[in-house]
Amino acid sequence: MLRLFPLLPALSLLVAQPLLASCTTMRDSKPDRTATEQLLISTAAEKQAQSIDFGVPSGKKVFVEPANFEGYDAKYAIAAIHEQALRQGLRLVQDKKDAECIIEIRAGALSVDQQDMLIGIPSFELPVPLAGGAFDFPEIALFKRGTEQGVAKFSATAYDAKEGTLIATASPPASASYQQETVLLFFISWTEDDLNRPEN
């Protein structure tokens, strides 16, 4: 009898499925990427930029060279690096000819990782011979945790604009942001993150 207990919530969902479907809202279009993904990447990028010590004396005229900097939301990350340079007292110029120092930047990582863990029964298709089709058996989660992590890894090389000699390099450890969704005993759920979300 105890072995049948985990099936009871699934049977309840089966009965309620027609009612749930009647409340579904359809959307004609939506952005290719979610706001959560963008927040994960931008938060990690901000943390990584703030960890860079360019090693260039304050007051120097610098040109930040982004030619080798690629990744999702690269423009946002480059702007965060510009801000960090300004915070360190550097003077940004728009033309290499006006620079005393060139800072080449590159991205080793600027993306999102995902990891899921489930203790229970995953969803699967259950054949229905008489109907000639299949029923999507719902997931039964005693415990479920899904984690999304934004990861950013930047490096910078500063060299003299006239002589081409090395001034300093910077390659701090990777920075990360996260969102974690947990489900306990089928229906108890909560979300944790370190993202700067809008207030409800």
Supply the DSSP string of 57-99, one letter for each residue.
-TT-EEEEE-TT--STTHHHHHHHHHHHHHHTT-EE-SSGGG-
119 is a domain residue:
yes
Whether residue 18 is predicted with pLDDT greater than 60 in this model: the reply is no
113 is a domain residue:
yes
Task: Pick the range with the lowest mean pLDDT from 67-81, 127-141, 174-188.
Answer: 127-141
What integer pLDDT is reported at residue 29 of this predicted model? Answer: 56
23 is a domain residue:
no
Residues 6+ apart with CB under 8 A from 158: 54, 55, 56, 62, 101, 102, 103, 104, 166, 167, 168, 169, 170
% the chain with pLDDT above 90: 55
Give the integer Cα–Cα distance in Å for 166 and 3.
69
145 is a domain residue:
yes
131 is a domain residue:
yes
* CATH number of the CATH domain containing 61: 3.40.50
Whole-prediction pTM: 0.74
Task: Pick the range with the lowest mean pLDDT from 45-49, 97-101, 159-163, 187-191.
Answer: 187-191
Give the integer Cα–Cα distance in Å for 180 and 194.
10
Domain count within the chain = 1
What residues make up the domain containing 143? 32-193
Beta-bridge partners for 134: 127
74 is a domain residue:
yes
161-194 pLDDT per residue, tens: 999 999 999 999 999 999 999 988 878 888 888 8
